[in-house]
Amino acid sequence: MSSRTSLTIVLAAGEGTRMRSARPKVLHPLAGQSLLAHVLRAAPKGEGAALAVVGEEVRRIRSDAATYIQRERLGTAHAVLAARETIVRGADDLLVVFGDTPLISVATFARLRAPLQNGAALAVLGFRAEDPAGYGRLLVEGGQLVGIREHADATAAERAITLCNAGVMAFDGKRALEIIEKIGNANSKGEYYLVDAVAIVRELGLEAVVIETSEDEVRGINTKAQLAEAEAVMQARLRKAALDAGVTMIAPETVFLAADTTFGSDVTIEPFVVIGPGVTIADGAMIHSFSHIVQASIGKNASVGPYARLRPGTSLGDGARIGNFVETKAATLEAGVKVNHLSYIGDAHVGAGTNIGAGTITCNYDGFAKHKTEIGAGAFVGTNSSLVAPVKIGNGAYIGSGSVITKDVPDDALAVERSPQTNREGGAKRYREMKTRAKPPKA
Ligand code: UD1
Ligand code: MG
């Protein structure tokens, strides 16, 4: 199989009117990735595997997929021919898949391609529909696929057939263009239907076959209700994969994962956690209930929540602890950092072992721009402090509770900046006294 080249054309034109959204249908998210990204992920890739997408506004999804525009929406066969320029290059296998069918798997593409190796001109993915209304019906005679009838054109007897067209097809690349160009538009909608390829293959005396799969894999998404159903299927798959990989989940049905979430060993996720795209969780990490995590990396044995919000660009070092009602964004917290209560740490770097007291806020926004807060290693920030960025707090520095820090604090210095401001000389003196009787901050 691997020696055969392939071209996969993803049909993604059209707005998806039934989604009732300004967003193009194939760009709606499912488990944190667009519908189209899911299809592209499952499609054959690597050497000798080309990708083409027919549709607008999809260029940014994957740069290795050529994009073609279908000027008029004249049907699925017409859409395929929008990519004619790449079809004529003649891959061994030409695969056509719809951009609104995100649950399809890598293995199914491989199964669908297998009959081409044995001389079939066309393989069609079929499934037994619970409710076949709306789908094209697969007409099988004597074990041979002889045609596909669209619902609108089907007779009552044909409508009783439950074996349906999933919309994924694999053509022998050498015959594909010849077959697809023969397709006409003599049907009730006056569209060029790709499904008519089956009858043409038969007329040419070639073989067409059906490969069956489960309905869950080929659910097409046309409405928000179908999007939610597909999300449920996807979440069930992701939870099972996480459990199989050794993640402990007390109530997996309450945990939401993204398609790209990665886990180390011995990770625990408590009930009611939402994980968005771009999250990696290392060995031994604990995610407590009601945490919301997006684009973040969580170090070994780190602890998050309950009720924590890790926003994009958060990186937690090994053993770091983020407690309740803490929000982080674009923040690197090195190993062993503790932010245990009620804090906002954004656009910040915090050195190893630093303790950030309850209610600490990095004031990163001055109304015009975002600024960075840098806090050294082994520092201590007292409760209810505001760190007004841009600002640097040195290694080992000690910030008194309730301070509003507007100027850099050197290494090992004490800063107590309250309103009304205390005498800074006095502050430094207290700090030196404090250091002489300093105990390390409580673990
Ligand atoms: C299609 C199949 C039907 C199958 C069903 C499975 C055809 C004619 N019918 O019907 O047999 O059971 O899918 O879900 O193939 N598109 C374009 N340009 C066009 C028309 C469509 O790019 O001119 C794209 C759409 O964005 C969509 C896909 O092709 O991703 C399928 O089109 P859609 O209108 O959803 O076809 P169905 O009626 O669902
Ligand atoms: Mg459809």
Query: Is residue 422 predicted with pLDDT exceeding 50?
Result: no
Type of residue at 248: T
The CB-side HSE value for 308 (13 A sphere, CA atoms) comes to 33
The residues annotated as belonging to the active site are 341
> Residues 358-388: pLDDT tens digits?
999 999 998 889 999 999 999 999 999 999 9
Query: To test ligand 1's pocket by mutation, which of 98, 149, 169 has the most ligand atoms within 8 angstroms of CB?
Result: 98
Specify the residue with its C-alpha closest to ligand 1, atom 19.
Answer: 75
Query: Is residue 59 predicted with pLDDT exceeding 80?
Result: no
Kindly state the average pLDDT of the residues 72-97.
Answer: 96
Kindly state the average pLDDT of the residues 44-73.
Answer: 85
Closest ligand to 99 CA? 1
Specify the residue with its C-alpha closest to ligand 1, atom 20.
Answer: 75
Q: How far is CA 220 from CA 70, 327, 373, in A?
A: 20, 37, 47
- Give me ligand 1 centre to Cα 135, in Å: 9
> Residues 384-408: pLDDT tens digits?
999 999 999 999 999 999 999 999 9
pLDDT at 137: 98
Banded pLDDT at 97 (limits 50, 70, 90): very high
Among the listed residues 345, 288, 343, the one whose alpha carbon sits nearest the alpha carbon of residue 316: 345
Specify the residue with its C-alpha closest to ligand 1, atom 3.
Answer: 136
Q: Tokens 């894999």 sit at which residue?
A: 217
Banded pLDDT at 304 (limits 50, 70, 90): very high
For the chain, the helix, strand and coil percentages under 3-state DSSP, each to the nearest 5:
20, 30, 45
Ligand 1 atom with the smallest distance to the CA of 13 is: 22
- Give me ligand 1 centre to Cα 100, in Å: 9
Query: Is residue 246 predicted with pLDDT exceeding 80?
Result: yes
- Give me ligand 2 centre to Cα 220, in Å: 6
Kindly state the average pLDDT of the residues 166-176.
Answer: 97
Ligand 1 atom with the smallest distance to the CA of 98 is: 30
- Give me ligand 1 centre to Cα 208, in Å: 20
Specify the residue with its C-alpha closest to ligand 1, atom 22.
Answer: 13
| β-pairing verdict for 93-98 and 6-11 | parallel
Give ion ligand 2 contacts, CB < 5 A: 220
> Residues 23-55: pLDDT tens digits?
989 999 999 999 999 999 999 999 999 999 998
Q: Which residue ranges have their beta carbon within 6 Å of ligand 1?
A: 11-14, 54, 70, 73-76, 78-79, 98-100, 135-136, 148, 150, 164-167, 193-195, 220
The CB-side HSE value for 240 (13 A sphere, CA atoms) comes to 6
Q: How far is CA 58 from CA 52, 219, 224, 290, in A?
A: 11, 21, 20, 34
pLDDT at 416: 81
- Give me ligand 1 centre to Cα 12, in Å: 9
More confident residue, 348 or 144: 348
Specify the residue with its C-alpha closest to ligand 1, atom 33.
Answer: 76
Query: Is residue 342 predicted with pLDDT exceeding 80?
Result: yes
Kindly state the average pLDDT of the residues 105-134.
Answer: 96
Ligand 1 atom with the smallest distance to the CA of 55 is: 22
User: Of all residues in the chain, what percent carry a pLDDT higher than 70?
Assistant: 93
Count the helices and strands in the chain (H runs, E runs): 9, 34
The CA-CA-CA angle for residues 289, 266, 299, to 5°, reads: 75
